[in-house]
């Protein structure tokens, strides 16, 4: 899949950035934005899945809350770093390389799945496919927690992106230049909170949508088996 391959190449080229490295203090401010809300949802012993975990900053943070975490990401270099950190910390966190469009987990494997601010990197079709999978791999009453920015708020007053915007599929084509690595294609999509809620709510029950910063929202969905 072109999108996954592009994301994998980009994040392998970036490697482990200080703001995503769980061993770097620069990642703490980002983690703090999430943990004060996650701590109200995570119970000790809860099996949690960190979707698009990168080097595991949220994965380790959820373990600190008493959860039993698994992280999954398509990029090998961040995952290898996460495994090294886990070994050094004597952590029980598990890390897998995989694709969100085909999660390698059995039914009822998790009680909570976290998607921390990377919704912009997946298409509308992939998101709906992901929620169908989550309905199976989450336990009954299991939670799907999404942190996201609203692109409509972000793009107010900006007209240049319209040249890159595909109104038929929501794609906003772009490129990212990595020092000493060159230019990489960065596939992204125009997501609003309302549209994310609409798609996810087709398969999971919406429990809460809240604006927690100027342009950061938390969306909490609940699984109901048999519905």
pLDDT of residue 1: 52
pLDDT of residue 227: 62
- Angle of helix 57-64 relative to helix 28-38, nearest 10 degrees, comes to 50
pLDDT of residue 181: 73
- pLDDT 10s digits, 99-146: 999 999 999 999 999 999 899 999 999 999 999 999 999 999 999 999
The domain segmentation of the chain, as residue ranges, is 2-222
Q: 3-state DSSP: the chain helix, strand, coil percent, rounded to 5?
A: 35, 30, 35
- pLDDT 10s digits, 176-215: 766 777 777 777 899 999 999 999 999 999 999 999 998 9
Q: Residue 218 — pLDDT band, cuts 50, 70, 90? A: very high
Q: Measure the CA–CA gap between 14 and 63, rounded to whole angstroms.
A: 25
What's the pTM?
0.91
- pLDDT 10s digits, 66-88: 999 999 999 999 999 999 999 99
Instruction: Kindly report the CATH number that applies to the domain delimited by 2-222.
Output: 3.40.50.150
Q: Which residue has the tokens 């998607």?
A: 115
């Amino acid at each position: 899949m072109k999108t996954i391959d592009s994301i994998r190449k980009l994040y392998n080229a970036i490697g482990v950035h200080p703001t995503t490295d769980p061993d770097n203090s620069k990642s703490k401010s980002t983690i703090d934005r999430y943990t004060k809300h996650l701590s109200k949802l995570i119970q000790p012993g809860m099996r949690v899945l960190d979707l698009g975990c990168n080097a595991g900053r949220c994965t380790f943070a959820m373990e600190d809350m008493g959860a039993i975490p698994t992280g999954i990401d398509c990029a090998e270099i961040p995952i290898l770093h996460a495994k090294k950190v886990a070994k050094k910390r004597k952590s029980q966190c598990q890390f897998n390389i995989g694709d969100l469009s085909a999660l390698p987990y059995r039914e009822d494997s998790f009680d909570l799945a976290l998607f921390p601010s990377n919704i912009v990197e997946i298409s509308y079709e992939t998101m709906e496919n992901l929620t169908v999978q989550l309905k199976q791999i989450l336990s009954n009453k299991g939670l799907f927690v999404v942190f996201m920015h609203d692109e409509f708020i972000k793009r107010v007053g900006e007209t240049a992106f319209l040249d890159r915007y595909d109104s038929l599929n929501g794609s906003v084509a772009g490129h990212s230049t990595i020092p000493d690595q060159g230019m990489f294609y960065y596939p992204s999509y125009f997501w609003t909170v309302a549209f994310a809620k609409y798609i996810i709510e087709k398969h999971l029950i919406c429990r809460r949508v809240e604006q927690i910063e100027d342009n950061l929202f938390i969306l909490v969905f609940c699984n109901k088996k048999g519905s």
